[in-house]
Every structure is written in structure tokens, then in C-alpha cells.
Amino acid sequence: MASLGRLSLKFDLDADTDGGAELPAVAIVPPPRTDSQRALAKWVASQASLDKLDRRHIRELVDPARTPTESRMTEAITAWAAERASLFAKKRRQPPAEQPTSTAVSSLRDYPMLEISQPGLLGILTRCLACPSDFWPVNVIRYLLRTGSVPAAFAPVRSIAAAALAKHAGAVGTVELPAQISLVDAIIEKGDLQTLALLLDPPGLVADVDEADLVRILKFVCCCQPTAAAAAAKAPREDQALRELLTRRDAINRVAALKMDRDAGGDGRRWFLQRLFAAPRDDTDMTAAMRAALGPAE
């Protein structure tokens, strides 16, 4: 197998690269179970070709000069999903699917979810969340959330974060970068209730939301308008891609999700509170987080 060579996948996120050129694109799929050297060589060549395609699209998504606007980010990730779908259809000798003419988020739902490696995903998330008040590619963020692979917090790719801040926030010179980027903090800073609804439903879609995050969400939801919360709560129920994700969950989570009251009613904050208290948590840590958020008693 060693004679077939290795795919050059570098995992140093902060290497001096051309806009994320060395971010690995997708996880390697297992080789075929065969003793045929020809079949193994074909597999290696196929993986190298796929990796090259994905690196090209990741470079575009993380480069502010090539995707300077939110709409351009949506177009870029739609083109990636379309090219991937076309490639796999060709390999299976199937007729290519009809390509949607729109590049809106509705078009993204017509394609299978991209399988992005964690380093590549963190590079794209760094670009999307580095300065939420100035740049918020909401379609891309919601699409990535539907993959079920987005962490609640992560260390940013520093070169990508610096470029994003320089482009969108006007930061010049030495930029102080955050030690980590919080998905919940970014959503709250932007005031995006619909994306928050996608984060909470189904419970566990973003598995590592901690108790301090839950308390911050609780404070934010309690202060928002009931009608705005009700409108945002409709998003997960109307999302076909998210419903398909639910069907792939294990039976316990699926039954639990179906038992939950999905009627937001007149006050959508009730819907958010149900999801918050259904989220995985430790009650002791939750109590400590609430005390820390409320401050000392007077």
C-alpha cells in the first residue's frame, strides 16, 4: 500500500498558506477491500482528485478578496455542493441532476450535505464568525449547522481571522485576535433568532453547548419580542434538510424530538425555553452558570 503513495494532507491550520490552501478538505474514505493493485491505485487517484477540488473551493470561501460579500459566499458554497453532486453522479454513471438556477439558500437544500474535514470546517467558520456585526453570511452558517459538525466554540485559524477582520471590520496593523470564537456569542451579537432556533432544534445538533452558553441564550430569549421568537421557531419545522437529519438520528433522540411540543403558540419564547431545558446539561454546572450570570445577591 505504501508504494501507492500518500495523499498530502497537512493539518497545520496556521501554516503560511495561500488563503487556506493547505486546509485538508475532506476526511479520507476507507480504501476498497480488495487485493487488486489497480483498484487501490484508482482509489488513491480518486481521493487525490476530490481533495484537490475541495481545497480549491475552501480557498475561495476563506479568502475575503474572492468572496467579499455575503451573497458571494452563498454562491461559492452552492457551486461547491453542485460540483460535488455532479462528480458523484458521474462516478455512479447517473444522469446529472438538474442544476438550480438560483444561488439562494433554497438552492443549497437541493444538494446533499458536504462532508468537510474539521480543519477545513474551522477555516470556513473562522471566516464566517470573526466579525459578526460587520459580516454575517447567514446562508452559509445555517448550511454548516445542518451538517451537525459545527462546534459551539473553537480556536480560530489566525491567518483567516486576521484577513477577515481587516476586510470587514477595517482592522489595520496588529490585530488582537480572540483565543476562541463562540458560535452562541456570535449569534447573540447579531441578534439572529432563526439561526439560534436551528442551533437548538433538534437538541444535540451542536453537541458541546455548555451551561454558560445555555444561560446566555436564556437571557437573550427572555429579552426578545414574543412575535419575533414565534417567527424564528418556524424555521426548523420548515427545513427539509433538518428533517432528513432527524431521520438519521438514533431512535431515542428521534422519539424524544417527536414528543416535544412543536407548537410555538403566540409567544415563541416558550418554544425556545423548551429546547433550552431539553438540551444536554449538568444541573450543578447549570446552577453555577446562572449564579455567575446573575452576580452576587444584594
Could you read off the pLDDT of 213-252 as tens digits, one per residue?
Answer: 989 999 999 888 888 888 887 766 555 555 555 555 444 4
Band the pLDDT of 109: cuts 50, 70, 90.
Answer: low
- Express each pLDDT in 10-48 by its tens digit: 333 444 344 444 444 454 556 666 677 787 787 778 788
Mean pLDDT of 185-194: 93
How much of the chain exceeds pLDDT 90, in percent?
25
Mean pLDDT score across all residues of the chain:
75
| 181 three-state secondary structure | strand
Name the least confident of 64-68, 173-177, 194-198, 242-246. Answer: 242-246
2 DSSP 8-state letter: G
Please count the other Cβ atoms lying within 10 Å of the Cβ belonging to residue 155.
16
Mean pLDDT of 63-71: 93
Residue recorded with cell 433550552 = 276
CA 60/CA 97 separation, integer angstroms: 24
- Express each pLDDT in 258-273 by its tens digit: 444 444 456 788 888 8
Backbone φ and ψ for 181, nearest 5 degrees, come out as -110, 130
Query: Which grid cell is 197?
Result: 432556533
Q: Which neighbouring-strand residues pair with 182?
A: 153
Q: Which neighbouring-strand residues pair with 153?
A: 182
Does residue 184 register a pLDDT over 90?
yes
What are the angstrom distances between the C-alpha of 58 and each of 29, 54, 113, 141? 19, 6, 15, 14
100 vs 92, higher pLDDT:
92
What are the angstrom distances between the C-alpha of 97 and each of 85, 102, 113, 242? 8, 14, 15, 21
**Helix or strand (DSSP H, E) at 91:** helix 70-91
